Amino acid sequence: MIRNYYFKQGGFSLIEMAVVLIILGFILGALLMPLQAQRQQLFQSQTENTLETAKKALLGYAQSQGRLPCPATSNGTGVFPDDEGSANPNASGICTQQIGFLPASTLGIQSIDEQGFALDGWGNRIRYAVTQANSSAFTTTDSMNVLGLTALVPDIRVCATSTALNCTATINLTNNAVAVIYSLGATGAQASGGGDEAENLNAIANVDTVFVSHEARLNDPVNGEFDHIVTWISPYVLYNAMIEAGQLH
């Protein structure tokens, strides 16, 4: 007797392949999420280190020059494009803009882009604002010394929120900062509905003396997303550094 044997051909059906692909997608997603979080943490650490270096460089500049530098501007201060990262103007006196970018070329800070602007960990330009109080005494050589410490009234305010009732002359993190240095974070711009971020981006005629600083929030119910990293220089830290260098008496 001759028997016929039938063998089922091995393989996956389309449904089985789809299930496998979905599972692989979940596995890859689970692996990539920690890597993305690590990258973001690295960028944040790089940014915080750069901001701290900037503070030290600004204090060192004040110790050597008797004043703080003006912000850099996007229009540049010289003939060549790579001069844009310099303070504008580089000489002492009234700044072209009260708020602009960190003058990395003037301070000798890295890393920088092709135009000489300092960059945060995400590749965005670091912002910088300096007080223009006392007729720009803080950016004019020897003016602070001439006026005397008791007459100086730096006017930059940093608050924990942009809410009007909780950001006043009496409710704030500081009401007399001489300079603010900050990064716009991973987004590099105002997030949708981010009232606190908007406060850091609402300069009128390149003048802004009120800023917000707090921990990152994905979706604050009142003021939306916030990922800016903000630091500032206390007048007393500046005065102490300048007194040690013989720039203030």
Q: For 81-94, what is each residue's pLDDT tens digit? A: 456 789 999 999 99
User: Cis peptide before 154, with omega less than 30 degrees from 0?
Assistant: no
Say what the pTM is: 0.83
- Say if 2 falls within a structural domain: no
- The whole-angstrom separation of Cα 197 and Cα 127 is 13
pLDDT of 26-76, one tens digit each? 776 666 566 777 888 899 999 999 999 999 999 999 999 999 999 999 864
Q: How far does the chain reach from its first CA to its final CA, in angstroms? A: 118
- CA-based torsion, 211, 215, 216, 219: positive or negative: negative
18 vs 108 pLDDT, higher one: 108
- Say if 6 falls within a structural domain: no
Question: How many domains is the chain partitioned into structurally?
Answer: 1
> Residue 58 CA to chain centroid, in angstroms?
15
Least confident window among 93-97, 110-114, 145-149: 110-114
Query: Which residue type sits at 143?
Result: S
- Say if 24 falls within a structural domain: yes
- Say if 156 falls within a structural domain: yes
- Give percent of the chain above pLDDT 90: 67
Residues 6+ apart with CB under 8 A from 39: none
Instruction: Assign 12 to helix, strand or coil.
Output: coil
- The whole-angstrom separation of Cα 249 and Cα 247 is 7
Residues 6+ apart with CB under 8 A from 139: 67, 68, 69, 70, 92, 93, 94, 95, 130, 132
User: What average pLDDT score do residues 175-201 get?
Assistant: 88
- Say if 174 falls within a structural domain: yes
- The whole-angstrom separation of Cα 184 and Cα 172 is 21
Tally of CB atoms within 10 A around 35: 9
- Say if 126 falls within a structural domain: yes
What tokens does 105 get?
């070329």
pLDDT at 4 over 80: no
Instruction: Assign 72 to helix, strand or coil.
Output: strand
pLDDT at 150 over 60: yes
User: What average pLDDT score do residues 217-227 get?
Assistant: 86
> Which residues on neighbouring strands pair with residue 158, listed in sequence order?
174, 211
Query: Which residue type sits at 68?
Result: L
- Give percent of the chain above pLDDT 70: 87
For 168, the domain range is 14-244
- Say if 53 falls within a structural domain: yes
Looking at residue 71, its pLDDT comes to: 97
Tally of CB atoms within 10 A around 188: 13
Looking at residue 83, its pLDDT comes to: 62
Element (H, E) at 235: helix 235-244
Question: pLDDT-derived band of residue 80, with 50, 70 and 90 as boundaries?
Answer: very low
- Say if 196 falls within a structural domain: yes
Question: pLDDT-derived band of residue 219, with 50, 70 and 90 as boundaries?
Answer: confident
pLDDT at 144 over 60: yes
Looking at residue 115, its pLDDT comes to: 86
